[in-house]
Amino acid sequence: MNLFELTRALVDIESTTNQERNVGDYLFAHLSSLVARHNGRIERIPAEPNRDNIFASWGEPVVTLSTHMDTVPPFFDSREDGEFIWGRGSCDAKGIIAAMIAAAEKLLAAGTRNLGVLFVVGEERNSAGAKAAAATPRGSRFLINGEPTENRLALGSKGALRYEIATQGRLAHSAYPELGHSAIHTLLDVLHDIRQIALPHDALLGSSTLNIGTIDGGRAPNVVADHAEAEIMFRTVGDPAKLREAVSAATAGRAEAREVFYTPAVQLPKVDGLPTTVVAFTTDIPSFEGTWGQPFLIGPGSIHVAHTAEERIPKKELSEAVDIYARMAMQLLAAGRSSA
Residues tagged active-site: 123
Compute the distance between CA of residue 144 and CA of residue 84 in angstroms, rounded to an integer.
Answer: 24
Indicate the pairing of strand 142-145 with strand 63-68. parallel
Separation of alpha carbons 75 and 180, rounded Å: 42
- Rounded CA-CA distance 295/141 in Å is 9
Give 200: exposed, middle or buried? Use CB within 10 Å, 0-12, 13-18, 19+. middle
SS3 label, residue 120: strand
Helix axes 95-109, 3-11, angle to 10 degrees: 140
- Between CA 99 and CA 146 the distance in angstroms is 10
**CA separation for the pair 12, 172 (Å, rounded):** 50
Instruction: State the burial class of residue 313 (Cβ atoms within 10 Å of its Cβ: 0-12, 13-18, 19+).
Output: buried
* 249: helix, strand or coil: helix
**What residues form DSSP beta bridges with 206?**
202
Plot region of 122 (φ>0 → left; ψ -120 to 50 → alpha; else → beta): left
68 forms beta bridges with: 120
